[in-house]
Structure 1
Amino acid sequence: MGKTFHTYCKYLFVSGLSSVALSCSNTKYLREGQMLYTGAEVKIVNDTISKKEKKDLQSALEANLTPKPNSTFLGLRPKLYFYNIAKEPKKDKGFNYWLKYKVGEKPVLLGDVDREFNKDIIENYSENKGYFNARATYDTVSKNKKAHVIYTVKPGARYMIEGVKFQKDSTLVNQEIQNLTPKTLLKNGRPFDLDVIKTERERIDNGLKERGFYYFHPDNIIVQADSTVNKNHKVELNVKLKDNTPDLATQQFSIDKVIVFPNYNIQDVKDGKYSIPMDKDSLSKYAFDDMYVIDPQHKFKPKIFDRALYFKKGDLYNRSNHNLTLNRLISLGVFKFVKNEFIVADSLSHQFDAYYLLTPRQIQSLRLEALGRTNSANYAGSELNLNWTHRNFFRGAEQFKAAIYGAFDFQMGGPKDANNIFRGGTNVQLSIPRIVAPFRFHSSSEFVPRTNITLGYEFQNRTKYYTLNNFTGSFGYIWKENARKEHELKVIDITLVSPQKVTAAYDSISKINPAMGRIVQKQLIFGPTYSYTYTNTMLPRTNTFYYKGTLDLAGNITGLVTGANAKKDKQKEIFGIPFSQYVKIENDLRFYHKFTEKSSLATRVIAGIAYPYGNSEFIPFSKQFFSGGSNSIRAFRARTLGPGSFDPRTLKEGAYFDQSGDIKLEFNAEYRANLYKFLNAAVFVDAGNIWLINNDKDRPGAKFSKDFLNEIAVGAGVGLRLDFSILILRLDLAMPLRVPYYEKGDRWAFDKINFGDPSWRKDNLILNIAIGYPF
C-alpha cells in the first residue's frame, strides 16, 4: 500500500512539473516586450440588480470581447506549443506547415487587444440591454510575460418598459399592424432590450407578409424610446412607420396571373422579356383552370402544378404559401432548379403576376454500379447493379425505377465447411406524387405525399445447402408533416419465399438445429406495416435526436377469420402455402451531442420484439432480429451473437451461421473526432443481444428471462473514417469485453486479453469495413 501511494505521489509530482514546464515553455518564444494575452474578466459593480442578472450580463459581455485568447486544455495551451516548436515552413504544405498552421495556433498577444474598443463594446451592449447609464473602465494585470485585462462595469439601474404605443393612422397597412398588436413582444414591466425590439419588428414584418404586403421590410418600422417622461428608470416605447416608408411597401398585393414555365431555360429570356408573349390572347392556349402552363411539347400534365401551387388567381399574397409552393415543386423530384418571380401587373389595383421558372432534371438516367465488400463473418464479395430511372414516367412527375443485380460472396476463412452465396434479381418501383386512394387526403406540408408501388424477385443460391426464390411486393404511402416528422404506411406488404432445392447436407444441419430448417420452408408473409420517424439532426443544435418506430402486423385479419391455431391444429394455408401471423415492434432512438465543431458523441438504443401467434409458432426467419456485424455489435461477427447465452461452439462446425431471435436490445456509444480534413477517428462501445420468446431445446439459454442482463454482450474498439464527401469509408477494429455464452461469473473477458498471442488476435480482433456511419 505504501509503495503504491509513493508511486502515485511521484506520478502527481512529475505530471505537475511537466504541466508547469509546458506552460512556461510557450512564453520563452516571445520577443522582448511581448506579453501573452491570457484572457479578460468582466466585473459588475451594481447593488440594484439580481445575482442572475449580474451573471447573465457578465457572461454576455465576456462573450463579446475580442480577441479570444489561445485555447486551453486542462490549463495548458497545447496548440500554441505546437505552433512554437514547429519550424517556419518554406512551402504551404508538408508536415511543418500542417503542424504549425493546422494543428498549432498563433499566439495572441496583449498588443493585439484594443482595450478602448472593448470598453466601447461593453458600454454599448449594456445600453442595448437597458442599462442606459453604463460606464466601464479597464486595468491590465501582467506577470511572467503573461497579461490579462480586467474590465469593471458600473451599469446603473436597468430601465423597464412602462407603456407601449402603436401609433395609429388611417392607412391599410397601419390597420393590419394594429391587428398584430395583441401578440406583441413588448410588454410592460419587462426590461428594455434592443434585441427584443428587433425581433418585434421582424414579427410585424412576418405578419404583414402573410397579409399581402410583399414589399414591406422590418426597417420600415421605427421604435422610439423615451426615458424622460418618468424619472424612476422607466421607458415608454412608440412603434410607428417611418416617414420615408416607400409607397410600394404600404400596398397590399393579390395574385393576377399564375404562369408556369416547366421547361425553363435562360435562353428563353432575351433583354428581360420572355420569348412567349405574356398577353392574355397569346396565353389562352396554355390555360389550365386558373393558371397558365407554358409547355408546348406537353412534357408535363398541368394537373401536377395545380396540386403543387398554393397560389390561385385573386388570392392575397402571403409568405407561407409562397415558400410552401417552392418547397413542394422541389420535392416533386423532377426539377433541378426552381425560381419564382413576382412582377407588378397593375399598380392601380395592386396586383402582380406570379412566374414559376422550372428547370427539369435529366428525365432518364442509366447507372451501372460495381461494388466490392467484406464483412466480419469472413465473407468477401462483389455486386453489380444496373439501375434505370425515369422521373416523369406518365408525365405527372411519377418516378419509375428498375434495377437488375447480381452478387456473389465467398468465404475467406473460418469454418472449413463454409459455402459461397450467389444472388441475382430484379426490382421495380413506381412512386406517384400524390395519395392514390378512394378517400380524399389533404396535406398542407411543404413535402409532396407519395404513393409507392414495388415489385421484386431474388434468386439466392447458398452452394452446398439450398436455393431460394424470394418474391416481394408492396403498396403504400409516405408523407411528411414537416421536415422533422415522416410517416410511412404500407397497406399491404407481401413476401413469398419458395425453396427450389435443399441438399442432404443442409437437411443434416436442420436435424441438428431445427431453426435452420425454417429458413427453407415455404413462407407467405402479408399484412400492413407502419413506421414513424422523427429527427432534428439537420438543425444546428448542440443536442439532436433521431427516432424511428416500426409496427409490422402479418396475417392478423386472415388468422382471425380462419380461426388459425398452429399449436393445436395444422397451419392454415393460402394457395397451398402456410401464412405467417405475428406482431413485430421495433424502436430505434439516437442521441447526438456536439462538444465542438470537430468532436461529438453519438449514442443509439434499439429495442424490438416480435411475437408469433395464431397460425405461427415461430417468427419467419427473414423477419427475426440479428446481432453482430459492422452496424451492430462490432466485436462479434455478423449474425453470430446470441440468442441469449446459447453457445454456438456446441453446434456442428459450419452449422452455426445466422443466429436469429425474437427480442433485441442493443446500446451503442461512439465518440467521434476530426483529426485532419477528411480523416476522422472514433472510440466506441457496443452492448446487447437477441433472445427467443419460446424455449428451444436445441438452443439452451436462448429464451428471454429475468436474467437477461446477465446475457448482455459487450464489445469495444477504435475506428478510422475517411470522409470523401461523396462517400465515407469506415474501418472499425473491435474486440469482445463480455461474452454471454461463457460460464456465469466468467463472462467478462478482460483477463483473457492477450495482444501478443496470434491465436487470440485471430479469434477476438474483428475488423469491420463498411460504407457510412453505423448510426
Structure 2
Amino acid sequence: MLFLMQVFYSLDEAFSNHSNSLILTQIKSGFLKNNITKITLYIGFIAFLAGCSAVKRVDEGKLLLEDNTIRIDGKTSRNEDLNSLLYQKPNTDLFGFPLQLHVYNLAKKEIDTTTRKYKRQIDKANRKIARKTARGKEVDSTKINRGGFQGWLKRTGEAPIIIDSKIAESSLTRLENYQKNRGWFNATGSLTIDTLKNKKKRGTILFEIENGKPFFVDSLDYKIASPVVDSIYNIARPESYVKKNKQFNTSDFENERARLTSIFRNSGVYHFQQNLIKYELDTLSQDTLYNKKKLSVAMIIPNRSIRNGDETQIEPFNIFRISKVNVYTDYTTDGTEQIFNAHRTVNGFDIFGKSAIKYRSSALLNPIFIEPGKIYRDVDRSLTIKHINELRTFRYPNIQYVEDPTDSINHSLIANIYLSPLKKYGLGFNVDLSHSNIQDFGVAFGTTLSIRNIFRGTETLDVSLRGSLGTSKDVSNSNGNFFNVTEFGADVRLSIPRILFFLDTQKYIPKTASPQTQIAIGGSIQQNIGLDRQNLTGLFGYRWNPRESVSHSFDIFNIQYVRNLNTENYFNVYRTSFRDLNLIAKDFNQTPENIDDKGDLVVPEGASNFIKEVLNGETALTPQDNAFDDVKNIEQRRVRLTDDNLILSGSFVKAIDSRKSFSDNNFYRFRGRLEVAGNLASTLSEAFGLRKNDQGNFEIFNVAYSQYIKTELDYVKYWDMKKQNVLAFRSFFGLAIPYGNSQNIPFTKSFFGGGSNDNRAWTVYSLGPGKSENNNEFNEANMKIALSAEYRFPILGGFKGAFFADAGNIWNVYDDNTDPDAEFKGLQSLEDIAMGTGFGLRYDFSFFVLRFDTGFKTYDPAEPNGSRWFRKYNFSNAVLNIGINYPF
C-alpha cells in the first residue's frame, strides 16, 4: 500500500511539473482524450484497492458509519422512503466492498495546498497562451484546474461517512415528522450509536420510532364562500383524496389541493390560486372499539381578495370567458416598437402582422386551443404552447390574458398570443463515430437544410445530405486504402402539421393528438458494403399521439427499391458459401476452365458454371446426393441475396412509453408493428395482365415485387432497484410470411440473431437459423424470438457494470427453405433457443454510454444433443461486443 501511494504521489508531481504541456494537450485533444485518460487511470489501480484500510482517514475517537437500522414499533423496517430521510448513510459499496471510499483514501490529505499550486501554474500558462494567441483568447482554467491527480481521486472517490450525533438527531427528527405526516401524531423516537467490537473505528446507528395510535378522518366539512366555486366543488367532491375513515396522510391533502385548483382553473375560475385552500384539523376523542383516534377536517376556501392601493376589496369568484383572441405573428423581443399594419379576422380570431401576414389562417390557428366564446381553461393555454412548439416555426410563444375593458361585468378575458418566428432557413451539421461487424471503424457525417413555412402552412422541408467512410478488413478489393467502405445518400422530407386526406379526420384524430403528414423521398449508394447497393425510397404517411405516452404511425405508401450493383462479387463477399462450393468442386468438377492454377473455382465464371452443371445433371452428382442439395442451397441463397427488390408496402406502428423523465428507471416500453407488402401491386398486376418471369412471379420494371405480411412485437421493462441499480428486461417476437408473388422475404426485411444489441454470445448474423450449423456470413430468417435480462449497477465514477443473459434464435417458416434444421416446427423447436450469459463494463460520458460486453455461449443448439450446455463457455470462445448506449 505504501509503495502504491508513492507511485500516485510521483504521478501527481509529474502532472504539476508539466502543466503547460497538459493545457496544450487538453486544447488539442479535447474532451474524448481527457476521458480516455480517466478510463486508463481507473483500470490501472482498482486492483490495488482491496488491501487498503477503509478507516485510514477516520480520526481517533471517531466512527465510520457501517450501517443504519430503523425500527418501527419494535420491528425492523426496510422501507426505502424512510431510509432516504437519513442525512448520513454508509459509504457506497460494490457487492459489499466500499470501492469509492478506498479511492478517496488514496489521495493526499494536503489537497488544498496542491490545488493552490495548480492554480498558480495554470494561471501562468493561460497568460502565456493568451500572449501568443492571435485573438488573445484565454484558456478557461475552470475546465483544467481540478486539483490534478489528487483532485481526481477525491472527486471520483467518496469521503468516509463519520458518525455525527447532531446529524443523527436531525435524521431522527425527520423520521418522527414523516410518521406524523402519515397520521401518527404522537410518534416519538430515540437513537443509539453502537461501536462494532470486531471492527476498528466503525459503528452503527439504531433509530427506534414508537408510532402510538394513528388518527383517522372521522368527519369532513367544507366552508366555501363563493357560490361558483361551491357548485364546482360539489361536482368534483366524490373523487376527493381526503375520505372519511381513511388514515390521515399529508400527501392526501396536498394532492387534493392540487386537484381542486386544476379543476377550478379549468372551469373558468381564472383568478383562483392553490394557496387559497386551507384545512382546519381538530382532534376528537379516541375510538375505543377500533383502538384509533378521530380527526375532524374542515376545508376553507374564502372569496377573492383584490388589492387596490392600500385597500382590499372582497368579492366572490366568477367564471371568465374568452371574449377575444389576438395573434401577433411577427412579434420581436428586442425592445423595438411593435407596429402591426396587417390585420385579418378569421372565425373570431384577430391575426396581426407587421407588414404582411405570411401564414395561411387555417395553418396558423390549427395549433391554438384558446377560442373566443369558450370559458377560460389552463389546459387550453398548455396545449397551445405545446402544439406551437411542435411546429418548429416559432420560438416559445408568449401568451398573456387581460380583462376585457369593454365588459361591464368584468367576466371576460382577452388572450394575446405573441409569436416570434424562427429564421426561415436553418442549416445543421452532424458527425458520428461508429463500429459494427461490417465496419471496424466508421465516420458518418451529414448536413440538413431546413426551410420553414415553405408553403405558408407552417410546413417544414428538410433536405439532407449524408455520407460515411469506414474501414473493414473483410473487403476483398480495398486497394490498400484505410477507408475502403463508403456510403452516400440524400433525403428530402416534408412535414405537414395536419392530416392530408380528402375526408375530415378530426373525429378520429383530433388536433390534440399532434397529427402530422410525412412525405419523403431518398436515395443512397453503397460501395464495398456487401454487394454494393443503390437504394431508393419513397414515403407517404401519418403520425399522431393520442396520449402523452402513446404514439401512432401509419404509412399509407412505403416504396423501397434495392438494386445490387456488384452481384458478380457474391462469392468474394460470402466466403463461407464459396468455401463449401469449392470443396465440392474439387471432387466433382469436370470442366478445366472452371478452376484456376491452384485448383480453386474461378470467381465468378467458374463458380457459376459449376453450379449450372451440377443442377443440370452434367456432373456425377445426383439429386439423391447430399452434396447436390448443398449446391442447390448455395445457389438458392445466392439468387435470393443478389436479386433486386421492389417493396411496395404499408404499415402501422403503435408505441407506448411510460417513462416520465430521463431519470425514471421504473417504466415500460411497447412497440407493435404490422406491415403488409405487395397486395395493391398484385391487384393491379392481375387487372392489367402484367407479364410474369420464369419463376411465375409478376414483375414491375423487370423486378419481381415482394409480397408478404410481417409483424413485430417488442416489450421492454425497467425496475428501479435503488442506489442506481436497475434490472432491465426485453422480449421480442417477429414473423414475416411470404405469399402470392414471393416465396421468401427480402434480405432487408428478414431477421438476424447475435450482435451487441441482441444475443451477445454470438457475433451479428452468426446465430441460427434453428439448430443448423451454418457458418454463413449473413444468416437470416423470417421468424425470430429474443429474450434478454440485464442487471446494471454503478462501479466507480462514470464506470458502470452489468450482468446479462440473452436467449433466442431465428427460424425459417412458410418459405422456400429446404434445410429441416433451420425450420420452426412448433413447440419442439423451442429447444433450439440459444442462450448466452456474460458481463459488461460501461463508461457513462453523460451524453452517451460506451459499452464493452463479453458474452459466453451457455447453450448452443448447433451442437449435438448432450453437448449443448457450457461446451464453449470460456474466454477463447467468448464474444467481445462494443456498443454505444444500452442495448435496450
TM range (shorter): 0.7 to 0.9
Aligned to 1:388: 449
CA contact (8 A) 1:325 1:446 kept: no
CA offset digits 1:181-215 (Å, max 9, x no partner): 23222222112223212222222111101112233
Q: 2:182 aligns with which of 111, 115, 129?
A: 129
Aligned to 1:711: 832
The 2-side partners of 1:74 and 1:680 are apart by 13
Aligned to 2:159: 105
The 2-side partners of 1:225 and 1:600 are apart by 42
Aligned to 2:345: 287
Distance change (3 Å), C-alpha of 1:647 and 1:39: closer
Q: 1:162 aligns with which of 218, 228, 233?
A: 218
Q: How far did 1:308 drift?
A: 0.5
Q: How far did 1:223 drift?
A: 1.5
The 2-side partners of 1:76 and 1:733 are apart by 23
The 2-side partners of 1:516 and 1:141 are apart by 75
Counting only pairs closer than 5 Å after superposition, residues 64-103 of structure 1 correspond to structure 2 as: 64-71=85-92, 77-84=98-105, 86-88=107-109, 89=111, 90-91=114-115, 92-103=146-157
Q: How far did 1:118 drift?
A: 5.0
CA offset digits 1:576-617 (Å, max 9, x no partner): 543322111112222223334544333322211111112221
The 1-side partners of 2:211 and 2:755 are apart by 61
Q: 2:339 aligns with which of 270, 273, 276?
A: 276
**Does residue 676 of structure 2 align to residue 648 of structure 1?**
no
CA offset digits 1:304-332 (Å, max 9, x no partner): 23110111112211122221111111112
SS at match of 1:543: coil
Aligned to 1:431: 495
Amino acid at match of 2:233: I
Counting only pairs closer than 5 Å after superposition, residues 174-253 of structure 1 correspond to structure 2 as: 174-228=230-284, 233-242=293-302, 245-246=305-306, 247=314, 250-253=317-320
CA offset digits 1:12-60 (Å, max 9, x no partner): xxxxxxxxx99995557543443445555555559xxxxxxx8889876
The 2-side partners of 1:588 and 1:702 are apart by 23
The 2-side partners of 1:556 and 1:689 are apart by 29
CA offset digits 1:496-517 (Å, max 9, x no partner): 3445664384577674331221
The 2-side partners of 1:722 and 1:75 are apart by 21
SS at match of 2:420: strand
The 2-side partners of 1:259 and 1:300 are apart by 15
Q: How far did 1:721 drift?
A: 4.5
The 2-side partners of 1:208 and 1:744 are apart by 70
Distance change (3 Å), C-alpha of 1:556 and 1:418: farther
Q: How far did 1:250 drift?
A: 2.7
CA contact (8 A) 1:36 1:110 kept: no
Counting only pairs closer than 5 Å after superposition, residues 199-598 of structure 1 correspond to structure 2 as: 199-228=255-284, 233-242=293-302, 245-246=305-306, 247=314, 250-267=317-334, 269=335, 275-276=338-339, 285-296=343-354, 297-346=356-405, 348-369=409-430, 373-377=434-438, 380=441, 382-407=443-468, 411-413=472-474, 423-442=487-506, 443-444=509-510, 446-460=512-526, 468-498=533-563, 502-503=567-568, 505=603, 511=611, 512-539=634-661, 540-556=663-679, 559=682, 562=686, 570-574=696-700, 576-596=702-722, 598=724
Aligned to 1:605: 731
Distance change (3 Å), C-alpha of 1:502 and 1:45: closer
The 2-side partners of 1:140 and 1:410 are apart by 63
CA contact (8 A) 1:445 1:481 kept: no
Bigger shift: 548-557 or 671-680? Answer: 671-680
Distance change (3 Å), C-alpha of 1:383 and 1:225: closer
CA contact (8 A) 1:468 1:520 kept: no
Amino acid at match of 1:455: I
Amino acid at match of 1:128: N
SS at match of 2:667: strand
The 2-side partners of 1:422 and 1:40 are apart by 59
CA contact (8 A) 2:57 2:160 kept: no
Aligned to 1:51: none
Percent identity among equivalent residues? 26
Aligned to 2:780: 660
Distance change (3 Å), C-alpha of 1:581 and 1:630: same
CA contact (8 A) 1:37 1:110 kept: no
The 2-side partners of 1:597 and 1:509 are apart by 60
Q: How many residues align?
A: 723
Aligned to 1:15: none
CA contact (8 A) 2:724 2:794 kept: yes
SS at match of 1:181: helix
Q: How far did 1:170 drift?
A: 5.4
Amino acid at match of 1:327: K
Q: How far did 1:472 drift?
A: 2.0
TM superposition score normalised by structure 2: 0.72
Q: How far did 1:663 drift?
A: 0.8
Aligned to 2:133: none
CA contact (8 A) 1:340 1:354 kept: yes
CA contact (8 A) 1:201 1:221 kept: yes
Higher strand share: 1
The 1-side partners of 2:357 and 2:692 are apart by 57
Q: How far did 1:530 drift?
A: 0.9
The 2-side partners of 1:518 and 1:774 are apart by 30
CA contact (8 A) 2:651 2:673 kept: yes
Distance change (3 Å), C-alpha of 1:382 and 1:506: farther
The 1-side partners of 2:88 and 2:879 are apart by 47
**Does residue 743 of structure 2 align to residue 617 of structure 1?**
yes
SS at match of 1:638: coil
Distance change (3 Å), C-alpha of 1:601 and 1:362: farther
The 1-side partners of 2:220 and 2:554 are apart by 51
The 1-side partners of 2:445 and 2:157 are apart by 42
CA offset digits 1:55-100 (Å, max 9, x no partner): 8898766653444444456666554455445432333534443334
CA contact (8 A) 1:670 1:684 kept: yes
The 1-side partners of 2:672 and 2:165 are apart by 58
CA contact (8 A) 2:261 2:274 kept: yes
Amino acid at match of 2:504: R
The 2-side partners of 1:592 and 1:436 are apart by 38
Distance change (3 Å), C-alpha of 1:64 and 1:370: closer
CA RMSD of aligned residues (A): 4.0
TM superposition score normalised by structure 1: 0.81
CA offset digits 1:404-457 (Å, max 9, x no partner): 345565541488999976544432211111000122222456552111112223
